[in-house]
Amino acid sequence: MSTPNHRPSPAAPSPVNLRGAVDLSALKARSAAPPAAAAAAPASGPAAGAAPASSPFVVEVSEQTFPQVVQLSADVPVVIDLYSHTSAESQNVSAVLAAVAVEQNGRMLLARVDVDAYPQIAQAFQAIAVPTVAAVLKGQPVPLFDRALPEEQIRAVVAELMQVAATNGVNGALDGAAPETPAEEAPLPPLHQEAFDAINAEDYDAAAAAYRKALAEQPADAEAKAGLAQVELMARLRGVDADGIRRAGAEEPDNVQAQLAVADLDIAGGHVEDAFRRITGLIGRVRGEDRETARLRLLDLFEVVGVSDPRVTKARSALARALF
């Protein structure tokens, strides 16, 4: 992380949920839910910073209105912009995010949080500096980035978020969105469509089978390879006891399955570098079949994160050092 120019007030970390990310339930319980219109009121006045005050898709939130914003994440991705008026970098990021939210025309909501006024929300997202940007999908937090990025990178992150949201059925529109003619999209290949339908039905085994068939037909199908890695991760995490997994990982540092299970939780919770360090460290300690099992899982998680991600590039170098 780059050197922060602003830090919210320190406090005890928030509890952890099933996926290893922050638990937003404490914030939701801090106050009675206000009318939905309160959460969706457009940003205005000095608190809006660089955000356009006229858009219904860019809102300022408080601890009181935050629960309603979380509820909206069942319909559209909610991007959480943790900013400070004292940080020029965070204001620049806010301006880009606001422009993107307007362009999305109701298919996402930008929820802006002044960390100086509402440090509890910043603490819930484990933000230690501004700008910090996260998302909420179906009530689950998704870390995005915690430093100033160029506009093209911010747009790329949001575009990827929108794809993930659509894959998980979060593809609605907020009230106030102008109707538009949907663009003609090329149909998915039959096996990809089969996998997509299975994911929507939460039948991850069927989705994995469809992707395997696609790879048998086209071994170079990068989308099928990434899709297979993702649904296999989702299947492994279904119904797990997160506390038990982390306890076993702490008690058995050289147990390959225990360590890989913790790495799965870390990836799902957005702690990508922690997961990669855990597995590369394990590969350096074990031998034989255990080492190969860990190596193959790490390659699968590279696909989940995205092979072009700089964290994957860094982890590949660590893997080479561990192996040789």
Instruction: Residue 112: name the closest of 93, 139, 137, 86 by CA.
Output: 93
pLDDT at 176: 65
**What tens digit of pLDDT does each residue of 125-164 get?**
888 899 999 999 988 898 999 999 999 999 999 999 998 8
Claim to verify: residue 161 and residue 203 sit in the same structural domain = no
Q: Is residue 8 part of a domain?
A: no
Is residue 4 in some structural domain? no
CB atoms within 10 A of CB 243: 10
Same domain, 232 and 146: no
Q: Which pLDDT tens digits describe the chain residue by residue (324 residues)?
A: 333 444 343 333 332 222 333 344 444 444 333 333 333 333 333 333 444 446 889 999 998 888 888 889 999 999 999 999 999 999 999 999 999 999 999 999 999 999 999 998 998 888 889 999 999 998 889 899 999 999 999 999 999 999 888 888 898 988 765 544 445 567 889 999 999 999 988 899 999 999 999 999 999 999 999 999 999 999 999 999 999 999 999 999 999 999 999 999 999 888 999 999 999 999 999 999 999 999 999 999 999 998 888 899 999 999 999 988
180 part of a folded domain = no
Q: What is the dihedral of CA 232, 313, 273, 203, to 10 degrees?
A: -10
Cα 199 from Cα 194, distance rounded (Å): 9
Whether 128 is covered by a domain: the verdict is yes
CATH number at residue 41: 3.40.30.10
Alpha carbons 78 and 135: distance in angstroms, whole number:
5
Q: pLDDT tens, 247-277?
A: 999 999 999 999 999 999 999 888 999 999 9
111 domain-assigned: yes
Q: In terms of domains, do 38 and 163 share one?
A: yes
Are residues 104 and 228 located together in one domain of the fold? no
Token pair recorded at residue 102? 């307007």
Is 80 a member of any domain? yes
Domain count, the chain: 2
68 and 105 housed in the same domain = yes
Kindly give the interhelix angle for 222-237 and 288-305, rounded to the nearest 10 degrees. 110
Q: Does 142 lie in the same domain as 210?
A: no
Q: What is the pLDDT of residue 19?
A: 31
Same domain, 107 and 75: yes
Domain membership flag for residue 318: yes
| Contacts of range 256-265, beta carbons closer than 8 Å, 24 or more positions apart | 256/282, 256/286, 256/290, 256/293, 256/294, 259/294, 260/293, 260/294, 260/297, 261/236, 263/297, 263/301, 264/233, 264/236, 264/237, 264/301, 265/19, 265/20, 265/237, 265/240
Query: 315-319 — which CB contacts under 8 Å span 24+ positions?
Result: 315/273, 315/276, 315/280, 318/276, 318/277, 318/280, 319/280, 319/283, 319/295
For 104, the domain range is: 25-167
Does residue 101 lie in a domain region? yes
Tell me how far apart the alpha carbons of residues 285 and 9 are, in angstroms, rounded to a whole number: 39
Cα distances from 162 to residues 75, 172, 187, 232, in angstroms, run 12, 11, 18, 21
